[in-house]
Amino acid sequence: MNENPEQRKRRLRSIYVVHTSMFVFSLGFSINLTGVFPYMKQLLTNNSSEDILNRYGWVVAMNPLGQMIASPLLGYIFNKTNDLRSISMAMAVVYILGFIVGPGIQASLTPLKCGQPPISGPYFTLDMYTVAGWLSVFMGVCMMILFSPYFFQPFDVTVQERSLHNRNKTEADTKSISLEKPDYLAALISLLNFFVFQAVFVLLETLGTPLCMDNFAWSEETTVFYLGIIMSSGGVMSFICFLTIPPLSKK
């Protein structure tokens, strides 16, 4: 692609912003997941463990359910408007509003005796559970700033390629150009593999906390601490596996 260094810099910066947003989304989701179950146990002291587990499952399911509903809608809006900037900004605004309203209400309604909070007041509480929510709020604000026009700019890299090709093509080239039929089977297999990976990952994170508390008789603090280390170690191993894919695929 024919682009000057400044255009390449701006294009790569936008790509890095998208990658960072995916990291922040995954981090914001997983940082709260391990502590949700013990936090619900402290809030719902009069409910049985089975009832809390049932509600816990619905809490975890709300995130992917929202994605499933919103993804086709956002894709339809983009196809009609072809305005990626407005959609990205709207997603960032809604994303941050969700993180602000949720932990904010949660913190204000948390009993002061919940886990002996080190910082507490009539409208604000910080403990081992609400800190994770406020950290997600902070990361959401950072992502809203990164999706501003100064940092993020959409680029259509095919515009210059099509223009250059149209200038250089001949009639014979036009007749010889043909697009290959997409491999729908390969695409379906990739989607199924991603579905299995995500299902196993969320299942482990969801059941890990209550399973450790029941089988090892760990306290809430110990469970969150050790389970966080275990999940982080698994993430490091996955990262190492991804790094080995390029050299192994060459062989």
Looking at residue 116, what DSSP letter applies? Answer: -
Tell me how far apart the alpha carbons of residues 51 and 26 are, in angstroms, rounded to a whole number.
27
Percentage of the residues of the chain whose pLDDT score is greater than 90: 2
The size of the chain, in residues, is 251
* Interval 205-250: pLDDT, tens: 777 778 888 888 887 778 777 877 777 777 778 778 777 877 877 7
pLDDT for 233 equals: 79
- 3-class secondary structure, 251: coil
Average confidence (pLDDT) over 62-80: 78
Average confidence (pLDDT) over 49-74: 80
Tell me how far apart the alpha carbons of residues 245 and 239 are, in angstroms, rounded to a whole number.
10
pLDDT for 100 equals: 54
Handedness of CA 215, 220, 221, 227 (dihedral sign): positive
pLDDT for 238 equals: 74
pTM: 0.52
Phi/psi for 119 (5° steps) reads -125, 120
Tell me how far apart the alpha carbons of residues 206 and 228 are, in angstroms, rounded to a whole number.
12
Tell me how far apart the alpha carbons of residues 151 and 77 are, in angstroms, rounded to a whole number.
23
pLDDT for 181 equals: 81
Percentage of the residues of the chain whose pLDDT score is greater than 70: 62
Q: How many CA atoms lie within 13 A of 204 on its CB side?
A: 13
pLDDT above 70: residue 26: no
Q: Which residue has the higher pLDDT, 208 or 85?
A: 208
pLDDT for 30 equals: 66
Q: Which residue has the higher pLDDT, 25 or 120?
A: 25
Query: Shortest CA distance to 201 belongs to which of 221, 224, 230?
Result: 230
Q: Are 155 and 164 in contact (CB under 8 A)?
A: no
* Residue 108 pLDDT grade (very low, low, confident, very high; cuts 50, 70, 90): very low
Q: Are 96 and 145 in contact (CB under 8 A)?
A: no
Tell me how far apart the alpha carbons of residues 167 and 112 are, in angstroms, rounded to a whole number.
71
pLDDT for 27 equals: 66
pLDDT for 92 equals: 62
Q: Are 137 and 107 in contact (CB under 8 A)?
A: no
pLDDT above 50: residue 74: yes
Query: Shortest CA distance to 123 belongs to which of 104, 136, 139?
Result: 104
Tell me how far apart the alpha carbons of residues 152 and 146 are, in angstroms, rounded to a whole number.
7
Does residue 110 come out as left (phi exceeding 0), alpha (psi in the -120 to 50 range) or beta? beta
* Interval 121-175: pLDDT, tens: 565 666 666 666 777 778 778 877 877 777 777 666 566 666 666 666 654 455 4
pLDDT for 197 equals: 79
Q: Dihedral through CA 183, CA 186, CA 192, CA 197, nearest 10?
A: -130
* Residue 189 pLDDT grade (very low, low, confident, very high; cuts 50, 70, 90): very high
pLDDT for 188 equals: 92
